[in-house]
């Protein structure tokens, strides 16, 4: 934006940028769901975080623009399309959160099992071992 002032034409550009960022987030959310191992999710999460920061900046600029130019841009760029995209992202994020929680619970169960096995081994090793007696025939 030239001279840090928003022009009337910037509103449409900002909405298009917002839609592009939401589409990118949707792609990243779908890629998360396709991962076979959650360990591979870190780069996607970092990219989603960058995307979210960009969305926050664009939303802030849109708010500033809306104060300067009281036009209803939402009516211009098909709000149902944005709503469908946001709903798709929400569903993907919820599914990923469910998957992460499920993986966490499985890991906790595995750790508990290992601890029980270690504790059982420690208890067993503390017991006096029976002496082997030689029997003479």
Are the C-beta atoms of 89 and 26 separated by less than 8 Å?
Answer: yes
CA separation for the pair 43, 89 (Å, rounded) = 18
Whole-number pLDDT of residue 34: 87
Whole-number pLDDT of residue 92: 92
CA separation for the pair 135, 76 (Å, rounded) = 97
For every residue of 40-94, DSSP letters joined together read GGHHHHHHHHHHHHHHHHHHHHHHHHHHHS---HHHHT-HHHHHHHHHHHHHHHH
- Confidence category of residue 62, pLDDT binned at 50, 70, 90: confident
pLDDT for 98-122, tens place per residue? 999 999 999 999 999 988 888 876 6
């Amino acid at each position: 934006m030239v001279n840090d002032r928003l022009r009337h034409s910037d509103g449409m550009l900002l909405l298009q940028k917002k839609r592009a960022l939401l589409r990118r987030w949707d792609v990243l959310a779908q890629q998360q769901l396709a991962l076979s191992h959650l360990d591979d999710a870190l780069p996607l999460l970092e990219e989603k975080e960058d995307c979210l920061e960009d969305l926050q900046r664009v939303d802030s600029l849109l708010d500033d623009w809306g104060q300067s130019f009281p036009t209803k841009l939402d009516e211009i760029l098909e709000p149902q399309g944005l709503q469908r995209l946001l709903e798709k992202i929400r569903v993907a994020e919820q599914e990923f959160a469910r998957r992460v929680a499920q993986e966490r619970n499985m890991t906790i169960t595995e750790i508990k099992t290992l601890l029980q096995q270690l504790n059982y081994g420690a208890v067993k090793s503390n017991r006096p071992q029976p002496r082997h007696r030689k029997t003479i025939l």
